[in-house]
Amino acid sequence: MVWLVPNDLRLAEVYRYLGDEPPAPHYYQSAVAILKEKVAQDPNDCRFHSALGRAYAGLGGREQDAIDEGKSGVKCRPVEKDAHNGPLHLGDLARIYVMVRKYDEAIDTVKRLLEMPSELTVPWLRLDPVWAPLRDRPRFQELLASDNEFFVIDVCSRLPHTSRQPQTHLRHLPRSPLFFFK
């Protein structure tokens, strides 16, 4: 499944994280228009619900609509039925919670994501500006400090037996080109 996010939503988020607020609302509004049309065309496509939730959250003033769309994305493709794409929707819901300042819900969702194989990792939480509003919160700091308790994959057990096996572990094997070695 290809993850579809309109370029306007990407641009809005880039401007927002750069602190360049004036262009961001224009792009969020444009993304909302595109995504509402996509949801009307295909109401069962979870990707559009999750992205529309992010666009609503970015606009501000539509917090409940943002949460509802994010939950629709999760409900449509739950992790219990789709272990590959389900966590992506759950990650979008966590982002939405951060954007609408529902920090406790965001931390609960992030904790759930860290307890399963997903692209969200503790090192990524430390780097990605999406999670910056959570970094001063004690519960979030506990998650960052408990890196050793989460999903670990032993590389050596996955490789054929050779005379020279790596002595390292991959932490939280993500489905992205970023791999973190410990």
Return the structure tokens found at 76. Answer: 């449509």
pLDDT at 105 over 80: yes
pLDDT at 17 over 50: yes
Amino acid 165: pLDDT: 43
Amino acid 98: pLDDT: 97
Amino acid 36: pLDDT: 96
Mean pLDDT along residues 106-116: 95
pLDDT at 173 over 50: no
Sign of CA dihedral 45, 88, 16, 141: positive
Would you list the domain boundaries of the chain?
7-149
Amino acid 2: pLDDT: 53
In the block, which residue shows the tokens 């306007």? 8
The distance from CA 72 to its chain's CA centroid, rounded to whole angstroms, is 15
Contact between 32 and 45 (Cβ < 8 Å)? no
Amino acid 21: pLDDT: 74
Mean pLDDT along residues 29-42: 95
HSE toward the beta carbon, residue 65, CA cutoff 13 A: 13
Mean pLDDT along residues 55-74: 95
Contact between 73 and 89 (Cβ < 8 Å)? yes
Nearest to 139 by CA among 116, 119, 110: 110
pLDDT at 42 over 60: yes
Give the confidence band of 154 by pLDDT, cuts at 50, 70, 90. very low
HSE toward the beta carbon, residue 57, CA cutoff 13 A: 27
Q: How far is CA 84 from CA 109, 122, 126, 127, 167, in A?
A: 17, 19, 23, 23, 28
In the block, which residue shows the tokens 């927002």? 16
Amino acid 5: pLDDT: 85
What's this model's pTM, rounded to 2 decimal places?
0.79
Q: Which CATH number fits domain 7-149: 1.10.760.10, 1.25.40.10, 1.10.3720.10, 1.10.260.40?
A: 1.25.40.10
Length of the chain, in residues:
182
